[in-house]
Structure 1
Amino acid sequence: MSDSSSTAPATAITQVTQKPEPSRARKARIDYSSNDPNEILASNRIVASPFQISKHKKDAARNWDIFYKNNKDGFFKDRHWTDREFQVLSALDTPEEGEGKGKGKIVLEVGCGTGAFVYPLLERYPSARFHAFDFSKRAVELVKNHHKHTTSRVHAFVHDLTCPPGSPSLPQQLASAPAEFWELSPPSSLSPASSSSSPAAVEGAPVELPQRPDIISCVFVLSALPPSKQAAAVQSLVQVLAPGGSILLRDYALHDQAQLRFHALPSKGYASIPSLLSGPLPSSDTPSPSSTTSTSANTDPDASLELGKPWYRRGDGTMTYFFTPEEVDGLVKDGCEEGWRMEGECSVVEMEMANRAEGWGCTRRFVQGSWKKVEV
């Protein structure tokens, strides 16, 4: 995987497969009715009602809090792979002229969870600093209660990336870091133009930051947002990024095993509340007045923007989405403010997963990308 210094303007749709041990036989985890993923997706298209969809969106923060209450810090393993996959992270301890001079770079971890990304890097790169936020209050508490937490290097806070009306903007949240976090940071700011144009900004004076993030990590985060909120969320990240900075992303890809399972096993856990949250696009040839996604009974203003999307509800109530590389690349590049552009690439990464104890295996699909912010 190339780092964010890549200057390729087009999306590179490549496949990278990591094979399991060839000497170990495996069986499929799920016995699908077809080898064609599109046929599997077509086998069950029962969609949740507009009321259920609105309720899932409204309860999103509560469901993630319950998730972290039940799993605490034992669910996610530390992400020791990040600086291997994203080579730009290996320069966290190499201050450059301008922003960050005299101290390591600043990383913004989006959807920090329990700190599985932050703390391995904190240990390996002793002069780097990390902003870390999550939608879940319980997750942020776990980050702050970690034995390696220190306010001079980790600024953890609760933030909703969709930034509903009346909530603090992302620049305001970053600026609220304690004084010891900003030591040796050079002057920096978010200009009035970029601050006012960001969907995450609120009315008022421009926000001054001693240093803007040099790197933004967004790993398995966008998929947790409703489709209608993804573009504005990415724009808020791109516009707070420092000039020359990088955005790193990994998320679920279309036709991943997790998506296929929603359609192959519809009756196991989703009989009463269907998992699919997005109905079909309207068609003049095949009207469906009885469709459960009819917007006539839906007061959600975003409902029409969320039709025809690979968007689902998990058994624990949290939501997930499955992307194409072109879709993610477009979100990042379209989110840049005037005078700047994002250079980089996105690809599908395939990985073989195996449960040796039970003797089964499956292929997982992820989208992975790295982009650099450069002046036009």
Structure 2
Amino acid sequence: MEEQETISPKILTADEINCLELQNKRLVTDYKANLLEANARKYWDLFYKRNETRFFKDRHWTTREFTDLLNLDCNIDSQRKVVLEIGCGVGNFIFPLLEEKINIFLFACDFSPRAIEFVKSNTLYNEENVRAFVNDITTDDIFSTVDHCSVDIVTLVFVLSAIHPDKFMKVLGNIFLLLKPGGIILFRDYGLYDMAQLRFKAGNKISENFYMRQDGTRSYYFSLEYLNKLLSEVGFKVIDISYIHRRTINKKENIDVPRIFLQGKFSKP
């Protein structure tokens, strides 16, 4: 397994170009696309009902990739820093971070009530250090739990891709309001031409770079230029942004899978 940072996604082969062209032959109908949007919460709740806590591995890599998380520690006499994880799932990010014994308070929200139930049932869950709650970040409901200008770091890891592109600006605008001046977003998500995007067949594409999975959940694949444009228009300063090229290799099972993610760090002036 290896990672490499670049400013370009990849050079497509003729077969990959053909795959993308075939996806355009038959798109998801408007009726189906509207149903997917209306039932988004149900599909994610069913996802966690099927997979419980087994699907995603704990993200011990986040403190390696996002060293800002380890730099949040402060003197015991000073106010604890506040981290908000949007799309916390079953806690694969927050619980490894709590094990680091950093002097922080964590807010953790997710679209799925079932996912939040799993978080709260974890033996490490303690509301002195973390508060988990159900939330739709595409609405203003977040402000009933988390105050404006009260958060030091927001993590947005494989979350924005699951949201309809029409709502990207609303989500990022809400985050901008939640962050303190100088606060940052730590971002990682699916990059343009990732293996998963190229594997979709005709009938799964909803719109440009936006797809329906078999289970009804959806995924968007970001270009560096588009993400940079979104964050800049909301008012964020782009500190760092790059494609992460990763190969997942399992020699025993003869698996060599190329993946492309997009990783960035953005600050509120």
TM-score (norm 2): 0.91
Is the counterpart of residue 111 in structure 1 residue 40 in structure 2?
no
Q: Which residue is 1:20 aligned to?
A: none
Instruction: Name the amino acid aligned to 2:242.
Output: S
Structure 2: tracts of 5 or more residues without a match:
none
What is the rounded CA distance, in whole Å, between the counterparts of 1:223 and 1:139 in structure 2? 18
Instruction: Name the amino acid aligned to 1:172.
Output: S
- Change in CA separation of 1:144 and 1:233 when aligned onto 2, cut-off 3 Å: same
Give SS of 1:230's match: helix
What is the rounded CA distance, in whole Å, between the counterparts of 1:56 and 1:157 in structure 2? 23
Is the counterpart of residue 352 in structure 1 residue 251 in structure 2?
no
- Looking at CA atoms only, which structure, 1 or 2, has the larger radius of gyration? 1
Is the counterpart of residue 252 in structure 1 residue 231 in structure 2?
no
- Change in CA separation of 1:360 and 1:41 when aligned onto 2, cut-off 3 Å: same
In structure 2, which of residues 258, 261, 266 is the aligned counterpart of residue 363 of structure 1? 258
Structure with the larger strand share: 2
CA contact (8 A) 2:6 2:245 kept: no
In structure 2, which of residues 233, 238, 242 is the aligned counterpart of residue 334 of structure 1? 233
Is the counterpart of residue 40 in structure 1 residue 6 in structure 2?
no
Q: Percent identity?
A: 36
In structure 2, which of residues 45, 48, 51 is the aligned counterpart of residue 65 of structure 1? 45
Give SS of 1:277's match: strand
Give SS of 2:181's match: coil
CA deviation string 1:156-204 (max 9, x = no partner): 11111111xxxx53222215xxxxxxxxxxxxxx4xxxxxxxxxxxxxx
In structure 2, which of residues 216, 225, 246 is the aligned counterpart of residue 317 of structure 1? 216
Give SS of 1:352's match: strand
1:138-217 equivalence runs, <5 A = 138-163=114-139, 169-175=141-147, 190=148, 212-217=150-155
CA contact (8 A) 1:216 1:237 kept: yes
Superposition deviation, residue 242 in structure 1:
1.0
Instruction: Name the amino acid aligned to 1:151.
Output: E
Structure 1: tracts of 5 or more residues without a match:
1-11, 18-32, 176-189, 191-210, 267-273, 279-308
In structure 2, which of residues 54, 58, 64 is the aligned counterpart of residue 74 of structure 1? 54
What is the rounded CA distance, in whole Å, between the counterparts of 1:255 and 1:310 in structure 2? 9
Q: Which residue is 2:32 aligned to?
A: 52
CA contact (8 A) 2:247 2:259 kept: yes
CA deviation string 1:79-102 (max 9, x = no partner): 00111111111112125xxxx972
What is the rounded CA distance, in whole Å, between the counterparts of 1:141 and 1:331 in structure 2? 32
CA contact (8 A) 2:210 2:219 kept: yes
CA deviation string 1:258-300 (max 9, x = no partner): 000003xx5xxxxxxx21112xxxxxxxxxxxxxxxxxxxxxx
Give SS of 2:103's match: coil
Is the counterpart of residue 84 in structure 1 residue 60 in structure 2?
no
Q: Which residue is 1:275 aligned to?
A: 204
- Change in CA separation of 1:360 and 1:35 when aligned onto 2, cut-off 3 Å: farther
What is the rounded CA distance, in whole Å, between the counterparts of 1:239 and 1:162 in structure 2? 13
What is the rounded CA distance, in whole Å, between the counterparts of 2:116 and 2:129 in structure 1? 15
What is the rounded CA distance, in whole Å, between the counterparts of 1:370 and 1:157 in structure 2? 25
Q: Which residue is 2:268 aligned to?
A: 373
TM-score (norm 1): 0.66
